[in-house]
Amino acid sequence: MSNTILPFGPQHPVLPEPIHLSLTVEDEVVRQAVPALGYVHRGLEMLTRKKDFHQMIQVVERVCGICSMMHAMCYCRGIETLMDIEVPRRAQFLRVIWSELHRIHSHLLWLGLYADSFGFESVFMQFWKIRERIMDINEATAGNRVIVSVNRVGGVRRDLSPSQCWWIGEQLDEVETELKAIESTMLDNYTVKKRTVGKGVLTKEDAWELGAAGPTLRGSGIARDMRELKYEALDELEFEPVVETGGDAYARGAVRFKETLQSIDLVRRAMARLPGGETAAKVKGKPEGETALRVEQPRGECMYYIKADGSRFLDRLRIRTPTFANIPPLTAMLPGIELADVPVVVLSIDPCISCTER
Partner 1 sequence: MFKKIMERSRIKSPWLVHYDCGSCNGCDIETLACLTPLYDVERFGVLNIGNPKHADVLIVTGSVNTRNRHVLEQIHRQMPSPKIVIAVGSCGLSGGIFKEAYNVVGGVDRVIPVDVYVPGCPARPEAIIDGVVEGLSVLADKQRRPDAANGAVAVDHTNSEILYESR
Question: Under the rule (CB under 8 A), what is the footprint of partner 1?
Answer: 10-14, 16-18, 38-44, 46-47, 50-51, 58-59, 62-66, 68, 109, 112, 124-125, 128-129, 131-132, 135, 145-147, 352, 354
The distance of closest approach from Cβ of residue 134 to partner 1 in the complex, given in angstroms and rounded to an integer, is 12
Q: Are 219 and 247 in contact (CB under 8 A)?
A: yes
* Residue among 181 and 272 whose Cβ is closer to partner 1: 181
The distance of closest approach from Cβ of residue 180 to partner 1 in the complex, given in angstroms and rounded to an integer, is 19
The distance of closest approach from Cβ of residue 173 to partner 1 in the complex, given in angstroms and rounded to an integer, is 19
* Residue among 64 and 242 whose Cβ is closer to partner 1: 64
The distance of closest approach from Cβ of residue 15 to partner 1 in the complex, given in angstroms and rounded to an integer, is 8
The distance of closest approach from Cβ of residue 31 to partner 1 in the complex, given in angstroms and rounded to an integer, is 25
Ramachandran area for residue 4 (φ above 0: left; ψ -120 to 50: alpha; else beta): beta
CA angle centred on 207, ends 292 and 332, rounded to 5°: 115
The distance of closest approach from Cβ of residue 298 to partner 1 in the complex, given in angstroms and rounded to an integer, is 12
* Residue among 256 and 269 whose Cβ is closer to partner 1: 256
DSSP letters, 29-52, are EEEEEEEE--SS----GGGGGTS-
* Residue among 92 and 99 whose Cβ is closer to partner 1: 99
Q: Are 358 and 41 in contact (CB under 8 A)?
A: yes
* Residue among 15 and 87 whose Cβ is closer to partner 1: 15
Cα separation, 231 vs 278, in Å, equals 19
* Residue among 146 and 293 whose Cβ is closer to partner 1: 146
The distance of closest approach from Cβ of residue 324 to partner 1 in the complex, given in angstroms and rounded to an integer, is 15
Question: How much is the CA Rg of the chain, to the nearest whole Å?
Answer: 20
DSSP summary character for residue 280: B
Sheet architecture: strand order including 300-309: 288-297, 300-309, 314-320
* Residue among 40 and 293 whose Cβ is closer to partner 1: 40
The distance of closest approach from Cβ of residue 263 to partner 1 in the complex, given in angstroms and rounded to an integer, is 18
The distance of closest approach from Cβ of residue 128 to partner 1 in the complex, given in angstroms and rounded to an integer, is 4
Q: Which of 265, 266, 89 is nearest to 180 (CA)?
A: 265
